[in-house]
Chains A and B, each alone.
Chain A
C-alpha cells in the first residue's frame, strides 16, 4: 500500500509492506538517526515526534502515519549549527556513545514544550522510557534542567 507523510517538513510517498513499522520505513528513507535498539518498545532509541508528540517508531505502523508529520533529530541541526538542546547535552558531557541521543533529543524537546519549567523529577519521569547505558542519566538530566532555566531567563 501507498502511504504519504511528512518527515522534517519534506513529503514522502512510500510503498510499504503489510505490517511495516515506522522505524524501518524511516531508516529506508535515509533517516538513520532513528535507532534500532530493542524492537520491543522498551528502550526509546527509536523515538520520533508524531505531530509533535514523542512515539516509539519501532511499534508504530507506518500505515498509521498516513497524512501526519514526523520529526526526527535530523531536523534539530543544520549548517548553522546545533539546537540548544543538542548543545546543552554536549556541554554537560551527556553524550557518551550517542546511540540513545537522537531519541532523547526529540523526547526532551516535547517535554520542554509541555513543561518549560521541569524539576529534575519531572525530567526523570518524562524521559524514563529513554534508556541510556553509558551516562547513568545524571548528566542528561542536569543538561535539560539547566537548559530550561536558560530558556526562561531569556537565552535562546
Chain B
C-alpha cells in the first residue's frame, strides 16, 4: 500500500501528469505522523528559549534586573536590550529592499504592546526557563497608549515610534506608518453625474492566522561552527538575509514541513531569539511559542475601515469607485503599505469600465499586536467594502446583483489602468488580461446554485429567515517584476531527477505540484521526481511562499528548468546514438529516434557518468514575471438566520473559480475550501478584543473562535475551463482568492434575507439580533 504514482494516461489537453489529482509527495510522512515538523527533531542538548513579555501596552523599561534569574541553576543566559545588537529592521519577510518601515529591534528599551518582547531566557528545560522569567525584575515607566486605530492620529495620541533609527515610515510623529493615494479621472465630478449612488463605511477585523502548528525554530552551530536555523517559515531566504542584517553572521536556513502559515509565517518571529542564544552560548537553542503567544504576540490581519462611494447610470453602468481607507498595523509596520495597497490593486481592476477611480488613506500604528501578511493580504478587506456597495447599487437599480456585477467586470483582452498605477508598495505594471472566465463563473455558478429559482422563494418563514448573496473577486499571481523563483534539476543514473526548489511548501502541496510540472515537461512519472525544498545551502533562491506566487513563479521556474533538462537529455542522446537532435523525441522516460531505437534516461546518465563524454546533467533556471495574471471567482451564499437569536448559518456556499489549469485538481479544491472556511470565520466569528489596558482577552481557542467542523455546512467548488498563456501549463494562482468572497457574499445574503446591511465583520449574532429587533422582525 505504498503511495502510488499516477497511472499514465493522456487527457484531452494532452497532459500526462498535470491536471491530475496525484497524491501529495509528502502525504505518506504526514498521515503516518512521522517526525517532520520543527519541534519533532531538535537536538537533544538544545536549550529551551522563553520570552519575557510586556504587561503594558506602552512603556519604557527604566530598569531591568536579571541577576536572580541568571543565578538560577540551569539558566544558560538572560538577554535584554543591552545584550543584543541595536539594529533596526522589519520582521516582515519581504524582498529587499523591503517596502515595510524599519521600526523594530530584537529587544528594545521601549515596549509598544502587551506581549512585546522584553527579555530572552535560555535554560536547560522549560520548567527552569519559566521559573527564570518570574525572577526578572523590570521597572516600567508606563506611557499613555492608543488601542483604537480610529484615534491613532488624534492630536493627543502618544507617539509610538519616537526612536531616532526609524526609517521608511511615512509620518511616525503622527503614528502614520504608511500613506497612499491615487486618483484616475475625477471621482467627485463623476459621482455628481450618476443616476444612482451609494456611500457607506465598512470595517473588517484583526483576524488571527491560527495555524495549528505554533511558531517554532531551533538553531545550532554545525561541526564547522556555521550557524544553522531550522524554522517553520514561509521565507527561508529572507530569514537568512534578515538574520545577517541583525547579527552580522552568515547562516543556513532549513525549512522542514510547516504546520500551516497563511502568511503568519512570512515574518521573522522566533528565529532572532534562538540565534541570539546560540551565538551567545554556542549551544543549540529551541523556541516554540505557546498558543497564547501565537495569538497575542505574532501577527494578525490588518484591521481596516473603508469609506466607499460608488455610482452608476440608470442602465446599470458603473461609472465611479472611491475607496478611502484606514488600516491598523499595530505596534510595528509589517506589511503596512503593501497590504493596504492590495486592498485596492486586487479589487479595483475587476471593475475596469469606470470613468473615475480613487483609492487611498493611512496605515496607522497603535499599541496592539502587530498586523502582518495574511492570506488575501488586504483584498478581503477592500472587497468587503466594494462588493457590499455594489450590491446596494444593484438593489437601488432594481437589477440582479449577478447581472450588475458581471456587466461591469473585466473581460479577456481588456486591461485596467489600475494595474499600472498600483503595485505593491510602488507603481505596478501594465497588463492585458489573457485569461478571464468570469462570465462562466457567474452564469454557470448561478445555474448550479439555483440562484434565480432561490431568489423567488419566501425569505421569512416562522422563526427563520433565508437569504441569497453573491460576491465577485480577483487576486493576482505573484508580485510582478519582483518575485523570483529558482529551480535546479539534476539527473541521476537510476532515471530519477532531483528537483531542488526554494519554494516553500507550507501544507499547500507546492512540492507536489512542482514535481508534477517537472514530470510533465520531462516526459516521466511522479515517482521519478525527488523534490527537496527550501534549504538555503542547497536549493536555489525563491522569494518564498506568499503573494499567490508559488504555482505561477516557482512553477514557471520549474518548467523552464525541466524543459532545459529535456534539451540536455536530447543533446546527450544524439551524441550517444549518433543521430541529429531534431530526429529524437522524449516519451515515457526514454529518448526515441525515428527508426525506433531508444535509450532510457537511466542508460543515458549511466553512460555519461562512466563511459561516454563524462558529465553530470544538471540545470538551474530562474523565473520572474512581468505580469501578475489574476484568478477570478464568483461565490454564492445561502444563509439561514435564526430570528430568535440572530445566529447566522451558512448553509450553502458555492465557489466557481477561474485559476487557469488546475495542476492538481484535488489540491486546488482544498485550497478553495480551506480559504472559504477561513473567510466564513472572518465573516461570522473571528475578532480580537482587548481590555482597556491593551491586554488581549481573546488569547486561546475558547475565547477566539475559529470555525469548527460543525460550523461548515456545505462548501462547493467548481473550476472554469481556463488556460493562462503565461502560466506553467496554463496555471494561475488559487490559494488566496477564496478568502475574498465569504465576507461580502454572506453580508449580501443577510441583506437579501432581512434587509439589514452589515457594515462590520464579524457579524455577531447578538449585534444582528438587536438590528432585527429594531426592524421589528426579531422573534421575541
Contacts and interface: CB of A to CB of B under 8 A. Distances in A.
Chain A CB count within 10 A is highest, among B212, B507, B666, for B212
B508 A96 contact: yes
B213 A37 contact: yes
Contacts of A141: 709
Contacts of A100: 212
B666 A99 contact: no
B482 interface: no
A136 B27 contact: no
Interface stretch (A49-57, A61-69, A76-84, A147-155): A76-84
B712 A138 contact: yes
A135 B30 contact: no
Interface string B33-56: 111010111000000000000000
B670 A89 contact: no
A40 B702 contact: yes
B39 A36 contact: yes
A97 B2 CA distance: 20
A21 interface: no
B710 A124 contact: yes
Interface in B500-553: 506-509
A8 B678 CA distance: 35
A123 B210 CA distance: 23
B507 A134 contact: yes
A83 B707 CA distance: 28
Given A100-B212, A131-B708, A138-B712, A38 B32 contact: no
Contacts of A45: 212
A131 B212 contact: yes
A112 interface: no
A39 B291 contact: yes
Nearest to B716: A138
A40 B30 CA distance: 24
Given A35-B213, A42-B702, A93 B32 contact: no
Interface of B, helix, strand, loop or mixed by DSSP: loop
A113 interface: no
Contacts of A87: 1, 31
A42 B33 contact: no
Interface string B152-187: 000000000000000000000000000000000000
Nearest to B671: A96
B258 interface: yes
Nearest to B681: A133
B74 interface: no
B33 A96 contact: no
Contacts of A129: 708
Given A73-B33, A82-B1, A133 B260 contact: yes
B213 A97 contact: yes
Given A128-B710, A135-B673, A98 B259 contact: yes
Contacts of B291: 37-40, 43
Interface string B342-353: 000000000000
A41 to B, nearest CB: 9
Contacts of A127: 709
A128 B29 CA distance: 24
B23 interface: yes
Contact of A80 (B1, B209, B677, B678): B1
Nearest to B677: A136
A119 to B, nearest CB: 13
A126 to B, nearest CB: 9
A32 B39 CA distance: 9
Interface residues of B, number: 59
A135 B674 contact: yes
A125 interface: yes
Contacts of B214: 36-37
Contacts of B509: 96
Nearest to A136: B677
Contacts of B27: 90, 95, 98
Given A90-B23, A96-B507, A96-B508, A101 B674 contact: no
Interface in A67-122: 72-74, 76-77, 80-82, 86-87, 89-102, 105
A74 B21 CA distance: 26
B439 to A, nearest CB: 26
Interface in B691-723: 700-702, 706-710, 712, 715
A105 B30 CA distance: 11
B257 interface: yes
Contacts of B24: 90, 95
B31 A86 contact: yes
A136 B674 contact: yes
B667 A93 contact: yes
A97 B258 contact: yes
B489 to A, nearest CB: 26
Contacts of A40: 291, 700-702
B507 A77 contact: no
A60 interface: no
Given A99-B212, A133-B262, A93 B21 contact: yes
Given A35-B213, A131-B706, A133-B211, A98 B31 contact: yes
Contact of B670 (A76, A96, A133): A96
Nearest to A17: B127
Contact of A82 (B28, B40, B677): B28
B32 A74 contact: yes
Contacts of A80: 1
B3 interface: yes
Contacts of A4: none
Nearest to B37: A99
A98 B507 contact: yes
Contact of B3 (A90, A125, A130): A90
A3 B76 CA distance: 31
Interface in B208-228: 209-214
B669 interface: yes
A71 B688 CA distance: 37
Nearest to A100: B212
Contacts of A90: 3, 23-24, 27-28, 31
A7 B109 CA distance: 49
B212 A35 contact: yes
Contacts of B673: 135-139
B212 A37 contact: yes
B17 interface: no
B659 to A, nearest CB: 15
Given A40-B291, A92-B666, A93-B21, A134 B260 contact: yes
Chain B CB count within 10 A is highest, among A101, A127, A135, for A135
B288 interface: yes
B677 A137 contact: yes
B290 interface: yes
A105 B701 contact: no
A137 B680 CA distance: 13
Contacts of A32: 33, 35, 37, 40-41
Contacts of A134: 212, 260, 507, 670, 674
Nearest to A75: B33
* The 3 nearest A-B residue pairs measured at CB: A33-B33, A81-B1, A97-B507
Given A32-B35, A90-B3, A137-B707, 7 more contacts: A37-B214, A40-B700, A42-B702, A90-B23, A131-B706, A133-B212, A134-B507
10 contacts: A17-B127, A36-B39, A42-B701, A89-B31, A93-B666, A98-B507, A134-B674, A136-B712, A137-B677, A137-B712
Interface of A: 17, 32-33, 35-40, 42-43, 45, 72-74, 76-77, 80-82, 86-87, 89-102, 105, 123-125, 127-141
